[in-house]
């Protein structure tokens, strides 16, 4: 049976002189970027007022109007325009999901899986938040536990706007939308808090207002030449077992996620052939991430 491999090419770590590249949004705002592992992120929160096609995103001030809207909208933290320079804007999830797109060309709202990958790159969710938070208490409330910002993500606590329109947690929380919805009412996001080093994973009302960080696109390709791929996964589609033939010289790390970003399996892969049992999982689409010290590969897996 012919083996198909859908490979999201792992990006090598960029050299320090490429770490400070910038991008510009539709309004002309310029953002610094940061490379973390194989991912390139905005280093600042989004503050654009238009979609990529030039259509204005409504700035909703009124609490009742905010609570009832089911299309894209943004606001300032605490409805105070002065906060935008530091914290960017807060957007509801309908803005995130709009086909007109809010991130600059070549960038996108990160999926829940991509946020999970970031946490893994930074050593796991239990400590990743500390590595992402701006240090000190200029913007974060004391004690800003575990904040080292060694990733240079420089997360700032813009707080959130509740689904009923009120505001909260400026200085205490940084909440970032993912593009992954849980159901018709809720969508996934990531949160940081002033008194924990945790990168939390949760879901909340799509009507809430959270901060946004865009992630640089990674091109995908189908590769059928086994000699060009450092990792082989077969069969795909799979039934009960898959085999992973790692051509890496050292042990790598294997993660299996469902499409909502929930981690299902975590194992080490030795060089050569490894067998993974999928008998306990239902049919559907899954994401495999294989991580080494220098790169991360992502694969789409279909189980029949």
The CA distance from 68 to 300, in Å, is 37
pLDDT tens, residue by residue, 153-165: 999 999 999 999 9
Is pLDDT above 90 for 225? no
- Percentage with pLDDT > 90 across the chain: 64
Q: How distant is the alpha carbon of residue 55 from its chain centre?
A: 25
Interhelix angle 112-121/125-132, nearest 10 degrees: 90
Q: In this structure, how many other beta carbons lie within 10 angstroms of the beta carbon of residue 123?
A: 12
Count CA atoms within 13 Å of residue 58 on its CB side: 13
* pLDDT confidence of residue 293: 65
Is pLDDT above 90 for 13? no
* pLDDT confidence of residue 232: 82
Burial of 96 (0-12, 13-18, 19+ CB in 10 A): buried
- Tell me the average pLDDT across 196-218: 95
pLDDT tens, residue by residue, 232-267: 888 988 888 999 988 777 778 888 888 666 788 988
The CA distance from 185 to 201, in Å, is 17
* pLDDT confidence of residue 287: 85
**Three-point CA angle 154, 122, 268, nearest 5°:** 165
Residue 124 backbone zone (phi > 0: left; psi -120 to 50: alpha; other: beta):
left
Name beta bridge partners: 8: 220, 298
Higher-confidence residue of 219 and 38: namely: 38
What backbone torsions phi and psi does residue 67 show, to the nearest 5 degrees?
Answer: -70, -20
Is pLDDT above 90 for 79? yes
Is pLDDT above 60 for 5? no
What's the pLDDT band for 219 if we cut at 50, 70, 90? very low
**Three-point CA angle 246, 228, 10, nearest 5°:** 70
**Three-point CA angle 48, 49, 52, nearest 5°:** 75
Name beta bridge partners: 234: 243
pTM of the predicted structure, to 2 decimals? 0.69
* pLDDT confidence of residue 34: 94
The CA distance from 51 to 226, in Å, is 41
Is pLDDT above 70 for 1? no
For the record, the structure tokens of 252 come out as 């790598």
Name beta bridge partners: 74: 59, 91
- Asked which of 57-61, 127-131, 205-209, 287-291 is least confident by mean pLDDT, the reply is 287-291
Computed over every residue of the chain, the mean pLDDT equals: 86
- Tell me the average pLDDT across 32-37: 92
pLDDT tens, residue by residue, 134-192: 999 999 999 999 999 999 999 999 999 999 999 998 999 999 999 999 999 999 999 99
């Amino acid at each position: 049976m012919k083996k198909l491999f859908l490979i999201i090419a792992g990006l090598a770590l960029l050299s320090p002189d490429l770490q400070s590249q910038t991008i510009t949004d539709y309004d002309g705002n310029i953002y610094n970027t940061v490379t973390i592992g194989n991912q390139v992120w905005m280093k600042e929160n989004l503050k654009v007022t238009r979609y990529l096609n030039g259509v204005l995103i409504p700035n909703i001030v009124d609490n009742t109007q905010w609570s009832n809207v089911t299309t894209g909208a943004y606001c300032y933290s605490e409805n105070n325009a002065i906060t935008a320079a530091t914290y960017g804007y807060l957007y509801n999830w309908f803005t995130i999901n709009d086909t007109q797109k809010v991130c600059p060309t070549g960038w996108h709202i990160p999926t829940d899986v991509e946020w999970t990958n970031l946490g893994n790159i930074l050593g796991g969710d239990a400590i990743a938040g500390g590595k992402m938070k701006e240090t000190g208490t200029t913007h974060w409330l004391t004690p800003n536990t575990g904040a080292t910002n060694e990733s240079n993500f420089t997360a700032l606590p813009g707080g959130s706007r509740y689904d009923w329109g009120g505001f909260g947690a400026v200085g205490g929380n940084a909440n970032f939308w993912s593009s992954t919805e849980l159901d018709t009412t809720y969508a996934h996001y990531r949160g940081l808090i002033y008194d924990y080093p945790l990168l939390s994973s949760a879901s909340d009302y799509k009507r809430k207002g959270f901060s946004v960080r865009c992630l640089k696109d990674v091109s995908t390709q189908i590769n059928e030449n086994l000699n060009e791929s450092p990792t082989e996964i077969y069969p795909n589609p799979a039934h009960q077992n898959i085999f992973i033939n790692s051509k890496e010289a050292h042990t790598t790390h294997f993660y299996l996620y469902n499409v909502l970003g929930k981690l299902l399996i975590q194992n080490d892969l030795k060089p050569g052939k490894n067998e993974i049992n999928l008998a306990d999982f239902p049919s559907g689409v899954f994401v495999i991430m294989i991580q080494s010290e220098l790169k991360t590969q992502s694969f789409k897996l279909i189980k029949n």
